[in-house]
């Protein structure tokens, strides 16, 4: 009897279908490009549908996840969200704000200038 190892982790095949060929071809920069996508999605949300509102990371993760719909894993978005909160430009991070969606008082992100 051969015990099957947990080799499923190697299944994380990423085709690199970013939709923007040739823009960012650096190997090993997957974290960066994921962050880039997440950042762009957040900026899009906070300048569009949620203009003038501040949202917490939990709500932004949910919204971004729905918004992107490209098989992104939520854990990847969560990790990128941390990076965006650390360096939110061109957005603004309010350390203690009230989330427009869940009403929680926590760190929120918003676009002050459209
Ligand atoms: Zn919230």
Distance CA 36, CA 16 (A): 14
CATH number of the domain within which 71 lies: 1.10.10
At 50, give phi and psi (nearest 5°): -115, 35
Amino acid 7: pLDDT? 44
39 belongs to a structural domain:
yes
**Residue 27 scores a pLDDT above 80:** no
Distance CA 72, CA 58 (A): 16
Stronger pLDDT, 8 or 34, i.e. the higher one: 34
Residue 37 Cα, ligand 1 centroid: separation in angstroms?
Answer: 20
Residue 91 Cα, ligand 1 centroid: separation in angstroms?
Answer: 16
Amino acid 41: pLDDT? 94
67 belongs to a structural domain:
yes
The rounded mean pLDDT for the chain is 80
Residue 8 Cα, ligand 1 centroid: separation in angstroms?
Answer: 34
- What domain range is 75 assigned to? 32-110
Query: How far lies 86's CA from each of 2, 13, 64, 72, 94, in Å?
Result: 47, 28, 17, 21, 11
With b for 16 or more beta-carbon neighbours within 10 A and e for fewer, the 64-83 pattern comes to bbebeeeebeeebbbebbeb
Residue 18 Cα, ligand 1 centroid: separation in angstroms?
Answer: 28
Residue 54 Cα, ligand 1 centroid: separation in angstroms?
Answer: 8
Amino acid 114: pLDDT? 56
Domains held by the chain: number: 1
32-87 tens-digit pLDDT:
688 998 999 999 999 999 999 999 999 999 999 998 867 889 999 999 999 999 99
Amino acid 3: pLDDT? 52
- Strand locations in 6-104, DSSP E? 55-56, 92-98
Residue 104 Cα, ligand 1 centroid: separation in angstroms?
Answer: 6
Residue 31 Cα, ligand 1 centroid: separation in angstroms?
Answer: 24
């Amino acid at each position: 009897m051969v015990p099957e190892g947990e080799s499923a982790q190697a299944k994380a095949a990423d085709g690199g279908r970013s939709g923007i060929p040739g823009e960012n071809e650096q190997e090993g920069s997957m974290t960066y490009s994921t962050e880039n996508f997440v950042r762009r999605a957040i900026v899009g949300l906070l300048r569009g549908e949620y203009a003038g509102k501040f949202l917490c990371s939990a709500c932004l993760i949910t919204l971004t996840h729905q918004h992107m719909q490209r098989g992104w894993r939520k854990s990847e978005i969560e990790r990128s969200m941390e990076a965006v909160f650390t360096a939110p430009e061109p957005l603004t991070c309010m350390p203690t704000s009230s989330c427009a969606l869940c009403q929680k008082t926590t760190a929120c992100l918003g676009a002050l200038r459209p």
